[in-house]
Amino acid sequence: MKVPDIKLSNGNHVPVLGMGLWQSKDAEVFNKAFKLAIDAGYRHFDSAQVYDNEHLLGAAWKDCGIKREELFIVTKIWLKNFVYSQVGKSFEKSLANLQTDYVDLLLLHFPVTGLRRKAWQALEEIYESGRAKNIGVSNYTVKHLKEMKKYAKITPQINQVEMHVFLQQPDLVEYCRKEGIILEAYSPIAHAKDMTNETIQSIADKHGKTYAQIMIRWCIEQGFVVIPKSVTPKRIKENIAVFDFKLDKQDIDSLKKLDRDFRTCWSPVHVP
């Protein structure tokens, strides 16, 4: 099964669904999950320096038989590496760990006060060198994105944030759409912290899908890239089986009412 693409502002494309790799550090578990994901049709894999698994991803993709250009590999610069001189050095280590000479997407992991401007300039240089095909940010609010207009030569192609039916962030969505920034939803199932909502369950029953599949499909229909995380075989297969149905207007209207600004991860809202 081929996952559809979304076109980015620079003309490149990103698979609309990928596999989040947060907390996946055990080599045996990682390798089994990666192989199963490849067999299921995943080609987009989202890592980060702080996940401590770039080396596992590098070894796994090298061994999987898929050509590098058919994969979409993502990593993120960790907070301690935001100093301008450290961005490039840490990225070189990431490339070595990932066993590749470029990544498809490189992100700044969080809007670190006082350091994010210079860190972005370092990312722009990496982008211009061709070692990152696309660059973006993670956990940036409208305030942080507006600030970037003062110093960024390149507008981020992607802003990766926590996004799900319980955290819909309409102001951020509107701003990113206006600026041509694609939103990428992490924790699309809200870390399974609310899996008993009757509205979602009734929509799942109507379509013959699971509760989690409805949450993932909602993200896709909002125009987001979505990166659900799992190492469980059944869920890995389930999470990608969301392209054979669509939510109708009644579903969308019902799900819109579930927004309650419910965060399950770190919040950038109060970061100056």
171-201 residue pLDDT tens: 999 999 999 999 999 999 999 999 999 999 9
Q: How many CB atoms lie within 10 A of CB 270?
A: 6
The Cα 36–Cα 166 span in angstroms is 29
Residue with tokens 């499909």: 217
50-76 residue pLDDT tens: 999 999 999 999 999 999 999 999 999
What string of DSSP letters covers 151-172? T-SS--SEEEEE-BTTB--HHH
List Cβ neighbours of 161 (8 Å cut-off, separation of 6 or more): 138, 139, 140, 169, 172, 183, 184, 185, 186
User: What is the distance, to the nearest Å, from the Cα of residue 120 to the centroid of all Cα atoms in its chain?
Assistant: 18
DSSP conformation class of 115: T
The Cα 10–Cα 12 span in angstroms is 6
Q: Domains in the chain and their CATH numbers? A: 5-256 (3.20.20.100)
243-272 residue pLDDT tens: 999 999 999 999 999 999 999 988 999 999
pLDDT of residue 238: 97
Q: Is 51 designated active site? A: yes
DSSP-derived pairing of the beta strands 72-77 and 44-46: parallel
Q: Is the pLDDT of residue 149 over 80?
A: yes
pLDDT of residue 15: 98
Q: Is the pLDDT of residue 156 over 80?
A: yes
Q: Is the pLDDT of residue 98 over 80?
A: yes
The Cα 74–Cα 157 span in angstroms is 13
* Strand ranges of the sheet holding 182-186, from the earlier edge strand across to the other edge: 19-20, 44-46, 72-77, 105-108, 135-138, 158-162, 182-186, 225-226
Catalytic site residue from 42, 51, 127, 186: 51
